[in-house]
Amino acid sequence: MDERIESPAFNADALEGTKWSLRLYPVGNTDANYVSFFLKREKDCSGPENFEVNLQLAFLGKDGSIVKEITSAKCKFMKYDSWGVQKFEELERLFVTERETFLPEDTLTVQCTLWTSEEKPDKSKYLFASTAIKVERRSFVWKIDKASTLKSCIRNKFKDNLIDFDLVLNEGFDRLDINMTSFDETIKYISCNTSVIDSKGRKKSYGSKKYFSCDLKKGVLSFMLLFPEMLMEDKSRYFPNDVLSLDFEFVLATVEHFGCRIKYPKLENGVVGEKTQNTAVLIADFKTLYNDGIFSDIELRTSTKSFPAHKNILSARSLVFRRMFGSVKKEKNSGYVDITDFEAETIHRMLLYIYTDSMENLQFESASKLYVAADKYELLSLKSRCSSVLKENLCPENACDVYVLADLHNDDDLKSSVQDYILGQREEFFFSQEWKNLMTTHPKLAENLMYRKITNNKMYLPRKRKSE
């Protein structure tokens, strides 16, 4: 806790030249279950020693509408004073249950409004600043052969361009010591998750750790994981062929700040924010239209569930539906469309996007299925957003599947991203079961990737000098 993201400082000329910044605590500064949000008056600023101001702190949705806000009147700030809310929003709502509302396209937008008059003014001058958090996901697998014959602890080292790992597993396989060193100064956050890979390739997580910049200043991070007795008791599952496979996944985050810029909003009918507020209302109305099936004139029928819908809305969003309802096919007059190749959950998510342009808590497996549906019904923006989810969740266990998926749907952008990811893996990846399966089922794809790998390696080989 107490780890914060701080905005660039901004000068409020209309507020006697005072200088301010925003502070966001992603895991709270007193309670790890909440996000904390504060406004701070900078020490090196103009204006009176004691400045009184009205303020509003808010989180904004995709369309710029306010989804969470706190307003306070006549707050007094000395220089270097802060005011804010310790429990501004629940972490669970922000990152899980209502992620699509708060983090559209994985972007959190916060807003602070300051004014000194009795009433909040209609016309405002906007200052925009951005903070970019670059996230890198890395993973590696430590395979310990002939595990049953080990008589002493075993040590291994893994090196990355940003961080080094020193791993020590004791002889009883019940304790793992992990030391991380050599931190790059740009790293602000590290999380590490350790799992055991069972005989079916499934991961069983046995512990994770999170560290922020204040921890990284120590230079060395050490933590210990204790494995339960069941690991040794179920050897057929966790020690297939007498091999213990430990999977390490870690996330590195760096933070970059970009300076403030001024923007004056265009006013229509003298009302600020009317357009975005109306958009939010319109989206809510369309969601109600979908949920309640009011005046529906078509049904999409899966094997387990039917979904009332509206031909005009489907046709406006999808050229496939437009052609379908405009042709002489049976769907035009039958009142239903039979969909046998997608599950009900996938069709629900597709319709929700068609009506509201939103995706609710989309995970990897759901994104894969929705990607296929989006491609079939030519929902290009949905396909692109699903592709982004797939890219962000690539790991050694699913990369080959996504590679095949991208090739099947002629998605060169996704295909290139997966190729880059696979080529960035350690040599152990090319001995994995996932890679063996790819060579068996899609040999041409595996061949193309290996050719690219060999070509890339040759580019870095030293050239022989011609004899004179």
pLDDT tens digits for range 401-420: 999 999 999 998 899 889 88
Residue 467: pLDDT band (50, 70, 90) is very low
How long is the chain? 468
Q: 8-22, 273-287, 305-319, 408-422: lowest mean pLDDT where?
A: 273-287
Residue 465: pLDDT band (50, 70, 90) is very low
Q: What is the mean pLDDT of residues 376-404?
A: 91
Please report, for residues 29, 301, 363, 464, the alpha-carbon distance to residue 5 in angstroms, rounded to integers and kept in the order given: 12, 47, 26, 51
Environment class of residue 297 by beta-carbon count within 10 Å: exposed (0-12), middle (13-18) or buried (19+)?
A: exposed
**Which tokens go with 281?**
């209302």
Pairing of strands 298-301, 336-338: parallel
What's the fold here for domain 394-457? 1.25.40
Q: What is the mean pLDDT of residues 4-26?
A: 82
Tell me the percentage of the chain whose pLDDT exceeds 70: 82
Pairing of strands 18-25, 66-78: unpaired
Return mean pLDDT, the chain: 81
Amino acid at 148: S
Note the pLDDT of residue 346. 96
Rg of the chain in Å (alpha carbons) = 27
CA distance linking residue 64 with residue 109, whole number of Å: 8
User: For domain 293-384, which CATH number applies: 3.40.30.10, 3.30.710.10, 3.90.79.10, 3.65.10.10?
Assistant: 3.30.710.10
CA distance linking residue 255 with residue 187, whole number of Å: 8
Question: From the CB of residue 295, how many other CB atoms can be counted at a distance below 10 Å?
Answer: 8
Note the pLDDT of residue 330. 55
**Which tokens go with 397?**
């266990």
Note the pLDDT of residue 273. 46
Please report, for residues 300, 347, 360, 387, the alpha-carbon distance to residue 366 in angstroms, rounded to integers and kept in the order given: 19, 11, 10, 12
Q: Is the pLDDT of residue 301 over 60?
A: yes
Amino acid at 316: A
Residue 4: pLDDT band (50, 70, 90) is confident
Beta bridge partners of 220: 181
Question: From the CB of residue 12, how many other CB atoms can be counted at a distance below 10 Å?
Answer: 21
User: For domain 5-124, which CATH number applies: 1.10.10.10, 3.20.20.80, 2.60.210.10, 2.120.10.30?
Assistant: 2.60.210.10
Q: What is the mean pLDDT of residues 203-217?
A: 76
Looking at domain 135-256, its CATH class is: mainly beta
Distance between start and end Cα atoms, the chain? 66
CA distance linking residue 247 with residue 360, whole number of Å: 29
DSSP H helical ranges for 133-273? 213-216, 230-233, 235-238
Query: Domain boundaries in the chain?
Result: 5-124, 135-256, 293-384, 394-457
Decide if 51 contacts 15 (C-beta within 8 A). yes
Tell me the percentage of the chain whose pLDDT exceeds 90: 26
Residue 466: pLDDT band (50, 70, 90) is very low
Q: Is the pLDDT of residue 458 over 90?
A: no
**Which tokens go with 463?**
């050239």
Q: Is the pLDDT of residue 196 over 70?
A: yes
| Cβ-defined contacts of 286-289 (< 8 Å, 24+) | 286/313, 286/355, 286/356, 287/352, 287/355, 287/356, 289/313, 289/355
The reply to whether 293-384 shares the fold of 5-124 is: no
SS3 320: helix
